[in-house]
Structure formats: structure tokens, C-alpha cells
């Protein structure tokens, strides 16, 4: 397939997937809020998710998280004690969490298959890959926003693995992961289809 045709297929796929996300992205994210909150609670023993929802802030649709402190936090030389009255509220644009899945699906759909049997194999592999893409993104970025509050207040310039991971995702890592996951699924589907032929 020529590069021009491949680019056209990719553009068409991206437009179709993007339209679906614009149409149903908020509804799909509502269904994922429970697992995201659970993942954050498992990931971070210091904070507890009190409320996680979708809200409108001006013209933006955002994920809004209210969290408390359930265990002592040491940031630099500062100690923050657990206090049931303490609350932090963070918001982040909902659309950012659909960037990697949108690119991932568009790449899977656009990349040509050598055999027809590759398409159902790609679809089968896409489901766990999408779940992993979302699990590596939303819970970590939301939790990193909480840790960023502590860092900014008590240890400016400090860092931690979760803040580094969040910065990586926000600076293009989402696209890297989407491309990597798509390449793995395309490769595995092609190999399996070849062996069955």
C-alpha cells in the first residue's frame, strides 16, 4: 500500500474514532469512574477518593476528583497528618484521557492486514490493550495531581515516580504508548494469522 493511501486510511479512521469519542466519550468515561477510583485507592495508600465525577467548567468537560488524606504524608521536610476534614479538589480535562485510545484504535483500523483473519484477532487483542492504556493513564495522572499539590506547597522542585510518569504521559507519552500497543497488536495478529494459514 502506498504511503498516501495509508495516510488517507489513517485520517479517515482517526476522524471516525474521534467522532465516536466526541459523541459517546463522556458516557463511556462515566462507566469507567468506579474502576478508576478503585485503582487510585489501590495505587495510593496515602489518599482516599471521596468523590469522582464529570463536571462542566466553563466550556470544558472535566473529571473532578475530591480526595482526602488517610495516612501521614512526608513531602521534603514537611509532614502532613491524616485529617478526616482535609479535602483536595482537582479537575482535569476529560478529553485528554481519550487521546491514547483514539490514536490506538485509528492505527489498528488503518494499518493494512495481510490476511482477513487478522481483523478479528486485532479486535480481540484491542480490548485488553485499551483497558491497559486507560489503567496506565487516568488513575496515575489524577493521583499525580494530588501529589503535585503537596510538592508545590512543601517541596518545590521535588519529584517522585508518579509525577515523572504523569509528566511523560502529558508530554507525548500517551501517543508513544498508543503507537507501541498498536504495533504489538498488529504484529501479534499477523503472526497468529500466518501460523493458522
pLDDT digits (tens, 9 = 90+) for 65-113: 999 988 878 887 778 887 878 889 999 999 999 999 999 999 999 999 8
- How much is the pLDDT for 82? 79
The answer to whether residue 131 scores a pLDDT higher than 80 is yes
- How much is the pLDDT for 156? 85
The answer to whether residue 196 scores a pLDDT higher than 90 is no
Return d(Cα 35, Cα 142) in angstroms, integer: 13
C-alpha closest to that of 101 among 162, 179, 33? 179
Contact between 100 and 173 (Cβ < 8 Å): no
Across all residues in the chain, what is the average pLDDT? 91
The answer to whether residue 170 scores a pLDDT higher than 80 is yes
C-alpha closest to that of 155 among 65, 43, 74? 74
- Higher-confidence residue: 48 or 154? 48
Least confident of 12-26, 37-51, 65-79, 89-103: 65-79
Residue 1 binned pLDDT confidence (cut-offs 50, 70, 90): low
The structure's pTM equals 0.89
The answer to whether residue 141 scores a pLDDT higher than 90 is yes
Distances (CA, A) of 81 to 46, 68, 85: 10, 11, 11
Q: Which three cell numbers stand for residue 181?
A: 500497543
Return d(Cα 187, Cα 125) in angstroms, integer: 11
- How much is the pLDDT for 118? 92
C-alpha closest to that of 68 among 94, 92, 44, 97? 44
- Residue 84's H or E segment, with its range, is strand 83-93
Amino acid at each position: 500500500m502506498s504511503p498516501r493511501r495509508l495516510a488517507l486510511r489513517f485520517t479517515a479512521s482517526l476522524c471516525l474514532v474521534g467522532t465516536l469519542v466526541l459523541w459517546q466519550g463522556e458516557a463511556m468515561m462515566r462507566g469507567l469512574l468506579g474502576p478508576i477510583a478503585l485503582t487510585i485507592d489501590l495505587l495510593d495508600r496515602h489518599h482516599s477518593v471521596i468523590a469522582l465525577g464529570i463536571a462542566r467548567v466553563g466550556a470544558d468537560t472535566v473529571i473532578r476528583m475530591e480526595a482526602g488524606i488517610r495516612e501521614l504524608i512526608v513531602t521534603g521536610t514537611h509532614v502532613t497528618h491524616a485529617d478526616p476534614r482535609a479535602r483536595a479538589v482537582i479537575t482535569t480535562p476529560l478529553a485528554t484521557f481519550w487521546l491514547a485510545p483514539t490514536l490506538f484504535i485509528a492505527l489498528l483500523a488503518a494499518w493494512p492486514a495481510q490476511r482477513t483473519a487478522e481483523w478479528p484477532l486485532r479486535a480481540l487483542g484491542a480490548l485488553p490493550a485499551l483497558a491497559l492504556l486507560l489503567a496506565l493513564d487516568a488513575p496515575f495522572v489524577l493521583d499525580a495531581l494530588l501529589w503535585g499539590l503537596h510538592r508545590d506547597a512543601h517541596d518545590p522542585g521535588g519529584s517522585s515516580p508518579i509525577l515523572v510518569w504523569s509528566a511523560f504521559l502529558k508530554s507525548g507519552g500517551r501517543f508513544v504508548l498508543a503507537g507501541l500497543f498498536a504495533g504489538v497488536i498488529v504484529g501479534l495478529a499477523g503472526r497468529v494469522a500466518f501460523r493458522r494459514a
